[in-house]
Amino acid sequence: MVVEQANGVVVIEPGMNDLKGEEIIKWIGKRYPGKPVTHLIVSHHHNDHGGGIRPYVASGATLVVHKLRLNFTKPRPVDPNQGY
């Protein structure tokens, strides 16, 4: 979901992986020219909800998660074959 605001857009749930996140960012650039992704809201840690956060954070978006999910945002090795 994308929410347009005066100075940018907020993305809720970034997609399953980096490629999907990059595709969404490109779509936003075409649909909302001049409005960067300012915030990214992730509801929980499952890959289908937060697997694609890297492109957003790399582009300068602020990541918003519940304080109980802060551990999810820390760098760590990930097994790409692991499910939930």
Q: Is residue 77 part of a domain?
A: no
Q: Is residue 4 part of a domain?
A: no
Residue 29 phi, psi (nearest 5) = -60, -35
Three-state SS for 44? coil
Write out the residue range of the structural domain in which residue 57 sits.
10-71
Q: What pLDDT does residue 71 have?
A: 66
Nearest CA to 65 among 37, 44, 35, 36? 44
Task: For the chain, 84 residues long, give each residue's pLDDT as a single digit of tens.
Answer: 999 999 999 999 988 888 999 999 999 999 999 999 999 998 877 777 677 888 999 999 999 987 776 666 666 666 666 655
Q: What pLDDT does residue 53 have?
A: 87
> 79: Cβ–Cβ under 8 A, 6 or more apart, which residues?
none
Q: Is residue 53 part of a domain?
A: yes
DSSP classification of residue 66: -
Residues linked to residue 37 through DSSP beta bridges, in sequence order: 9
Total count of domains within the chain: 1
- The overall pTM is greater than 0.85: no
Q: What pLDDT does residue 7 have?
A: 94
Q: Is residue 41 part of a domain?
A: yes
Q: Is residue 83 part of a domain?
A: no
